[in-house]
Amino acid sequence: MAKKAHASHILVNSKGDALNFKRNISDLKEFQRYATKASKCPSSRKLGDLGTFTQGQMVPAFDKAVWSIDLNSCSEPVRTQFGYHLIWVHSRDE
């Protein structure tokens, strides 16, 4: 059975923007504020929440990050063909 994760993200065009936002994010509330304000993904309307998804469902670089970063913290910028993501993993099957 495929492993599941629940994550949110902020999607921006540049690594510089992603790094600037990361510096200012200390908790989930801040992460959600930036997701709403700055993310170019439609998930910005839901505080960046992507809901629950299975391993392998997202693009490879994003997927790899979701399964390797610490829970309940903001990731380093992750580059995909869509731009740069900051990812917050709420929960995942280990």
- From first to last of its 94 residues, the chain has per-residue pLDDT tens of 889 999 999 999 999 999 999 999 999 999 999 999 999 999 999 999 999 999 999 999 999 999 999 999 999 999 999 999 999 999 999 8
Amino acid identity, residue 17?
D
Q: Can you give the pTM of this predicted structure?
A: 0.96
Other Cβ atoms within 10 Å of 10 Cβ, number? 33
Give dist(CA 27, CA 40) in Å, integer. Answer: 21
